[in-house]
């Protein structure tokens, strides 16, 4: 596998949210607005990238039997960094994301990549994998949040799209809307994949 495919697989073919169905909790919970989705996506990308690199560099030192606690300690370190940095420099986003920032520690995308990829692969590959997966996660969150913010609030990234003419469908910013939108996004992905396979 070439290096470039380690980067791009996370964007589409193995997109963590839309293909692997990992990280559902933040994907459903913080996608009420595009702004939060970007904040959550980039935070998770930073943690994923850093933890992948550290795990990959330490992969020959970490004992197999206690590898999960070791991964968690590494991940938690970076989550703490993100938590403090957001709290200091982007306080509003930090306040809206709330509990979901510390919860990045147990985000299964990050632990999953550490376990399945970084603990077995060289540092540079793990770096690319973390970057690709993180961006894929961010993309999926932004896609989901776009659907929900446009339909449920009539805005995109806080900009009004409808000029107040259209009564937003409140359901889409509520929890059921998250599940419904995610379902249709997944269905859409499956249709596109099927077509691609049929053609290719």
Partner 1 sequence: MSENRMILQSSPHARDRESVRKVMYTVTLALLPAVIAGTVFFGLRALLVMALSVVACLIFEGIAMKVSGKPVKETLLDGSAVITGLLVAMNLPSGLPLWMVVVGALVAIVLGKHVYGGLGNNPFNPALVARVFLLISFPTAMTAWPVPYGTDGVTAATPLGVLQMEGAAVALQSIPYYNLLIGNVGGCLGETSAIALLLGGIILLVRKVISWEIPVTFIATVLVFTTITWLVAPDKHINPLWHVLSGGVMLGAWFMATDMVTSPVSRKGMLLFGVGCGFFTCIIRLWAGYPEGVSFAILIMNGLVPLIDRYLAPTRFGARQATQGAKA
Give the total of residues touching partner 1 (CB under 8 A). Answer: 9
- Closest to partner 1 by CB, 85 vs 170, is 170
Four-CA torsion 86, 102, 73, 111, nearest 10 degrees:
-110
Residues 6+ apart with CB under 8 A from 102: 79, 83
Contact predicate 149/161, CB 8 Å: no
Least Å distance, CB 169 to partner 1, is 4
Tokens of 165: 């003419």
DSSP secondary structure string, 45-111?
HHHHHHHHHHHHHTTTTS-GGGHHHHHHHHHHHHHHHHHHHHHHH-HHHHHHHGGGTGGGGG-HHHH
**CB atoms near residue 197 (< 10 Å):** 8
159: β partners: 156
- Closest to partner 1 by CB, 167 vs 199, is 167
- Closest to partner 1 by CB, 48 vs 173, is 173
From residue 31 to residue 70, the character string flagging contacts with partner 1 as x (rule: CB under 8 A) and all else as - is: ----------------------------------------
From residue 145 to residue 184, the character string flagging contacts with partner 1 as x (rule: CB under 8 A) and all else as - is: ----------------------x-xxxx-x-x---x--x-
- Closest to partner 1 by CB, 66 vs 197, is 197
- Closest to partner 1 by CB, 132 vs 177, is 177
Least Å distance, CB 171 to partner 1, is 4
Least Å distance, CB 20 to partner 1, is 22
Burial class from Cβ neighbours inside 10 Å (0-12, 13-18, 19+) for residue 186 reads middle
Least Å distance, CB 32 to partner 1, is 14
Interacting residues toward partner 1 by CB under 8 A: 167, 169-172, 174, 176, 180, 183
């Amino acid at each position: 596998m070439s290096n470039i495919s380690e980067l791009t697989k996370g964007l589409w073919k193995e997109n963590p949210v839309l293909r692997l169905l990992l990280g559902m909790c933040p994907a459903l919970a913080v996608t009420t607005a595009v702004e939060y989705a970007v904040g959550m996506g980039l935070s998770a990308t930073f943690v994923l990238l850093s933890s992948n690199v550290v795990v990959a560099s330490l992969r020959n030192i970490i004992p197999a039997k206690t590898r999960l606690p070791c991964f968690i300690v590494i991940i938690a370190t970076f989550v703490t960094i993100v938590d403090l940095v957001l709290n200091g420099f982007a306080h509003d986003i930090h306040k809206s994301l709330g509990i979901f920032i510390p919860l990045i520690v147990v985000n299964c995308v990050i632990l999953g990549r550490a376990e399945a990829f970084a603990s077995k692969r060289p540092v540079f590959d793990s770096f690319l994998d973390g970057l690709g997966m993180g961006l894929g996660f961010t993309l999926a969150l932004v896609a989901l949040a776009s659907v929900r913010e446009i339909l449920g609030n009539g805005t995109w990234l806080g900009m009004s799209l409808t000029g107040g003419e259209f009564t937003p469908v409140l359901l889409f910013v509520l929890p059921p809307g998250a599940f419904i939108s995610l379902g249709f996004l997944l269905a859409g992905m499956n249709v596109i994949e099927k077509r691609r396979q049929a053609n290719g």
